[in-house]
Amino acid sequence: MTTANTDYERLAKDVEGVLRLAGFDSHSAETLAELPGFEVDIDDDGVLVNWRTEQGLRDAALAVHLVGDSQDPNRRIYEVTVREMCDLAIRILVSAGFHAAPEGGYAPFHVRVTEGSANELTRALFNEGLS
């Protein structure tokens, strides 16, 4: 395992822990379950965070997206929820000392985290109470 991967794994664990401390469900993308809550994934450029709604809402939003219905309530609920949760994740992570920003491009509702670390007190809290 390269040093960058090890650093990103540590970063992902800290990001996940801070989001859990803030009261949100958070899980690794490697769980393979599409659970609702913040999904934390690692790629070559750092850590990506995105919000997953319940599967039923995701499916309904995708179905109306495919037929081009931009006014469907399910699609609007999905888009507003995911956009607002992305913004909230950025505010939470920045307040905790991480460098977090919208990913943009192909993933407009994803958050890119490139560096930062939970402080010792924060890390102790999520290692103690949320492991």
Residue 43's CB: how many other CB atoms inside 10 A?
Answer: 10
Residue 14's CB: how many other CB atoms inside 10 A?
Answer: 24
The sheet with strand 107-115 has its strands ordered as: 26-28, 37-43, 46-52, 107-115, 99-104
Note the pLDDT tens digit of each residue in 17-45.
Answer: 999 999 998 888 777 667 899 999 999 99
Domain ranges (residues) in the chain: 3-52+86-129
- Hey, what are 45's tokens? 């450029």
Note the pLDDT tens digit of each residue in 42-79.
Answer: 999 999 999 999 999 989 998 998 888 888 999 999 99
Q: Which of 33, 36, 17, 35 is nearest to 81 (CA)?
A: 36
What percentage of the chain reaches a pLDDT higher than 70? 90
Do the beta carbons of residue 130 and residue 20 sit within 8 Å? yes
Do the beta carbons of residue 111 and residue 9 sit within 8 Å? no
pTM: 0.84
The interaxial angle of helices 73-95 and 55-66, nearest 10 deg, is 120
Rounded distance, CA 69 to CA 8, Å?
Answer: 39
Rounded distance, CA 39 to CA 49, Å?
Answer: 6
Kindly calculate the radius of gyration of the chain based on its CA atoms and give it in whole angstroms.
15
**Which residues are 104's β-sheet partners?**
107
